[in-house]
Amino acid sequence: MGSFPEPPRRDRVRSIFSGRHPWKLELGRRTLLMGVLNLTPDSFYTASRCAGTDEALESAIRLQDAGADIVDVGGESTRPGSGGVSEEEETARVIPVIERLSRALSVPISVDTSKAGVARRALAAGAWMINDVSALTADPEMAEVAAGGGGPVVLMHMRGTPETMQAAPSYGDVVAEVGEFLSAAAAGARKAGIAREMIVIDPGIGFGKTTEHNLELLARLPELAALGYPVLVGPSRKSFIGKILGVEPPERLWGTAGAAAAAAMLGADIVRVHDPAEIGQVLAVVDRIREKMS
């Protein structure tokens, strides 16, 4: 039986900061929380859906007040089997909300999109971070937009597309293959002009992976953290938790807490969640334990 992976040491505080923007995120003092704001009618977790700008503003303020360090705004569902929406529709959902949030929130805004046109407009409207589930591969203009924006970029691994990703995903060594992909994606981002300190990597829990793949990625997260980039993990209420516990999304909070605790203990810098208040309490305890291990 293999030994339990040793978590990466947190003995150095790193910052994600751009002189063009007022925002600064400190990594290493504690695990940061990214709150999920869905502007879609078909997100897998019904309670996270927002209809209209006023409801989105109220939800975003609740996420911020509950402890979210970043609010991640998405206008296109990436749940398994989803077919996507047009750039025009995604823009119409996202931009008015980001314009409103940029005047109301005291935490930075991330835009969850793979479309360069949406990202460009979102940055102009007040977003700071781009969270791209395709790792800049879905749109040939996205790397240029991200580099020009000057803020952080999340590069996520996904096998296939949201519509096809869960059609019998297979890997030889899921951690090695995901790591190779993310390393290459980060190198491509740097070549496009995105600063190394602005790159965040995400193994893509639930995106073209089975339950066992997801568990392997979490268990061996130190190997991905060793690539040298901040790591974001998004386990919140996903199907692998449901398969382990036999429950639907509304009952997956405590399973999410377990996955988030493991991710933070094993090297995640940011955890993307629907429930920052509850998960924030879990991570506060995990972070204190990690302090004793470093």
Assign residue 202 a region: left if phi > 0, alpha if psi is -120 to 50, beta otherwise? beta
The per-residue DSSP string of 72-114 comes to: EEESS--STT-----HHHHHHHHHHHHHHHHHH-SS-EEEE-S
Residues ≥6 apart with Cβ < 8 Å to 2: none
292 is catalytic: no
Q: Would you call 272 a catalytic residue per the annotation? A: yes
Cα–Cα distance measured from residue 13 to residue 184, given in angstroms and rounded to the nearest whole number: 25
Residue 224: enclosing H or E segment and its boundaries? helix 221-225
Q: Which residue of the set 30, 159, 252, 272 is catalytic?
A: 272
Which residue is catalytic, options 49, 120, 121, 238? Answer: 238
Distances in Å between the Cα of 6 and the Cα atoms of 46, 208, 225, 265, 267 are: 37, 27, 11, 9, 9
Question: Residues, the chain, total?
Answer: 294
Catalytic residues: 238, 272
